[in-house]
Amino acid sequence: LRDRAAPPRPKRPKYVPSKIDDPNYVRIFDTTLRDGEQSPGATLTIDEKVQIARQLSKLGVDIIEAGFPRASPDDFKAVKLIADTVGTQPQDDGHIPVICGLSRTIQADLDASWNAVKGAAFPRVHTFIATSDIHMEHKLRMTEDEVVENAVNAVKYLKGLGCDDIEFSPEDAGRSRPEFLYRILGEVIKAGATTLNIPDTTGWNLPLEFGELIAKLRANVEGIEGVILSTHCQNDLGLSTANSLSGAQNGARQLECTINGIGERAGNASLEEIAMAIMLRGQQEMDGLYTGIVPQHIHMASKMVSEYSGMMVQPHKAIVGMNAFAHESGIHQDGMLKSKETYEIMSPETIGLSRTVDAGIVLGKHSGRHAVKTRLAEMGYDVGNDDLDEIFKRFKAVADKKKGIKDEDLEALVSEHLFQSTS
């Protein structure tokens, strides 16, 4: 099983944004700097955004949605700076991420986005308009025909500006009528859109349902075989990762996500979860899917985003939580000491964590003799069985009252025991 943590990775295809090079390659579109920054209270400075973008590029992200340039002068500046720097500098393997700006379908937004991203080697503009009955009636107050007209005009306008990597999103697609989606998506493809992103804006869909929607779009939208289908799953029901993977299993070849899963309300699909699930299960259980993510940079990306955004990562968060590689119970620790495969499906080193410094066995009230003996040996104490019995008894008594037992606590227990047995 552990060999799956580092399967021989197919070489990343030379990335040409709008072209389908390898049918199994899943593009990772990171929107930490746009949707992620929409987490209440997560505002980032321009400098922080550029630093995060650099880390995302190292991480092997294919597309960085750097912001919403029309939202504020600083957002424009940040997107432009990222496009002109990160968007022009190749990584060691020659990879340069696409830099993308988000816009509504209105001209001032489209102009701002294009002006902000056009300095990148691979610029993209992402435009969106809502397509669910609820949004069209209450928010847009537009008819279906008006919504289609707006979408098509926006795509044509972008083409006229010289932008040929155009992403279109029917906002709230997860609650939109599929027949209307077939129509609007077919029209924007004809107008020149190259990526069609399907947002489950309210996190409403269930995994099978969302996968089915992607499959239905592939079967019913005219011209869809020539574009990339993408997912954008919010996490209101905690299903964003499952929905994104289900989308990929049904033909989506771009997955939108954020570091640590930050984003509007309950957040977005988490990049690290998607990337590791595809890395560990993609080859064998997902018909050979793979991404270009370099997992050793995940931990650093997670730390940076959490520190700069002020959004703490919950301890039990998959992949990047403080406890994701910690083992406390005696049975688990015993298993881990015999073979790491017993309780770990990937090693902490895979995501750039050091086992000794950042992860591993945590001594606490559920720990067993084996773990205590091993830690004592690592600390230089070679204790016989009788001594261990005594130290272990004291250990359990202390562990019952403390959240975690540190090396200093063990030192104290050993000294106490030695003092009492010699006096």
**Residues near ligand KIV (CB under 6 A):** 35, 128, 169, 171, 197, 199, 201, 232, 234
Residue type for 185, please?
L
Alpha helices in 46-91 (DSSP H): 46-59, 73-84
Query: How near is the Cβ of 148 to ligand KIV at its closest, in Å?
Result: 17
Provide the minimum distance between the beta carbon of 79 and ligand KIV in the complex, in angstroms, as a whole number: 15
Beta carbon of residue 239, minimum distance to ligand KIV (angstroms, whole number) = 14
Complex with ligand KIV: residue 168 or 325, whichever CB lies closer: 168
Instruction: For ligand KIV, give the closer residue by CB, 259 or 391.
Output: 259
Instruction: Give the shortest CB-29-to-ligand KIV separation in angstroms.
Output: 10
Distance set, CA 156 to CA 116, 164, 200, 258 (Å) = 19, 10, 25, 29
Q: What's the min distance (Å) between Cβ of 176 and ligand KIV? A: 11
Residue 196 near residue 166 (C-beta atoms within 8 A)? no
Minimum separation from the CB atom of position 117 to ligand KIV (A): 16
Structure tokens at 81: 């700076």
Cβ nearer to ligand KIV, comparing 10 with 238: 238
Nearest distance, CB of residue 365 and ligand KIV, angstroms? 43
Q: Enter the tokens of residue 375.
A: 């830690």
Judged by beta carbon, residue 171 or residue 344, the one nearer ligand KIV is 171
Q: Is residue 197 within 8 Å of 166, Cβ to Cβ?
A: no
Scanning 201-251, the segments in alpha helix (DSSP H) are 207-220, 240-249
Instruction: Report which DSSP code applies to 87.
Output: T
Taking the complex as a whole, how short is the minimal distance between the CB of residue 414 and ligand KIV, in angstroms? 56
Please name the helix (run of DSSP H) or strand (run of DSSP E) that holds residue 181, with its range, or none: helix 178-191
Nearer to ligand KIV, 12 or 126 (CB): 126
Long-range pairs, 9-15, Cβ under 8 A, ≥24: 9/290, 10/290, 12/60, 12/93, 12/95, 12/292, 14/94, 15/62, 15/95, 15/98, 15/122, 15/292
Q: How far apart are CA 230 and CA 98, in angstroms?
A: 15
- Comparing every residue's Cβ against ligand KIV, the nearest one is 199
CA distance 323 to 211: 31
Other Cβ atoms closer than 10 A to 413: 21
C-beta of 109 vs 171, nearer to ligand KIV:
171
Amino acid at 85: T
In terms of CB distance, is 128 or 290 closer to ligand KIV?
Answer: 128
d(CA 206, CA 242): 8
The residue (of 33 and 414) whose beta carbon lies closer to ligand KIV is 33
Nearer to ligand KIV by Cβ, of 36 and 364: the residue is: 36
CA 209 vs. chain centroid, Å, equals 21
Q: For residues 57 and 201, which CB has a smaller minimum distance to ligand KIV in the complex?
A: 201
Shortest Å distance, C-beta 225 to ligand KIV = 22
**Smallest distance from the beta carbon of 168 to ligand KIV, in angstroms?**
10
Smallest Cα–Cα separation from 124: which of 143, 96, 152? 96
How many whole angstroms separate alpha carbon 343 and alpha carbon 317? 16
SS3 content of the chain, % helix, strand, coil (to 5): 50, 15, 35
